[in-house]
Amino acid sequence: MAALPDPELPVIGLGDLGVVGSVAPGADGVLEVEITPTYLGCPALPEITAAVREVLTACGHPAGRVRHVLSPPWTTDRITPEGRRALAAHGIAPPVTPAPGSPVPVALGAVPCPHCGSRATRPHSAFGPSRCQSVLWCTACHEPFPHLTAL
């Protein structure tokens, strides 16, 4: 389940993205998988649900259930360190999130370029390849790159 690729970010599995929650038998003994979409109205949710159901069936649990969990909401803090490395390795800047317990910044800090590592980057477009991404521009290597928006 965790290795299923995200439909909008296929370089990262749903586990490393933090979308797959618990996988456990329900009160009636039927296996349940909890998934939390990256945001309300995520257009990939039906595709993710179908892929999880296929895995349940392939693993001998055709009656298994997929539960959509909306509370607590998904945040970029749920992306694992391995998931962040996978995003960066494929040219997608992982979200920059404040340390736990620290104040939430009003403005986005410098996002390192996944191509050259420079922090000389700036916003280029609020609209990226998917709803959860924006496009930034590196003034050092002159390359645009997608940035997973911190939530």
pLDDT in tens, 98-140: 666 777 666 667 899 999 999 999 999 988 887 788 899 999 9
Model pTM?
0.76
- Surface-to-core class of residue 53, CB atoms within 10 Å of its CB (0-12 exposed, 13-18 middle, 19+ buried): middle
Query: Which tokens is 44 given?
Result: 């990939």
Kindly report the number of other CB atoms within 10 A of residue 119's CB atom: 12
Calculate the CA 21 to chain-centre distance: 13
Mean pLDDT of all residues belonging to the chain:
90
66-78 b/e (C-beta count within 10 Å ≥ 16 → b): beeeeeeebebeb
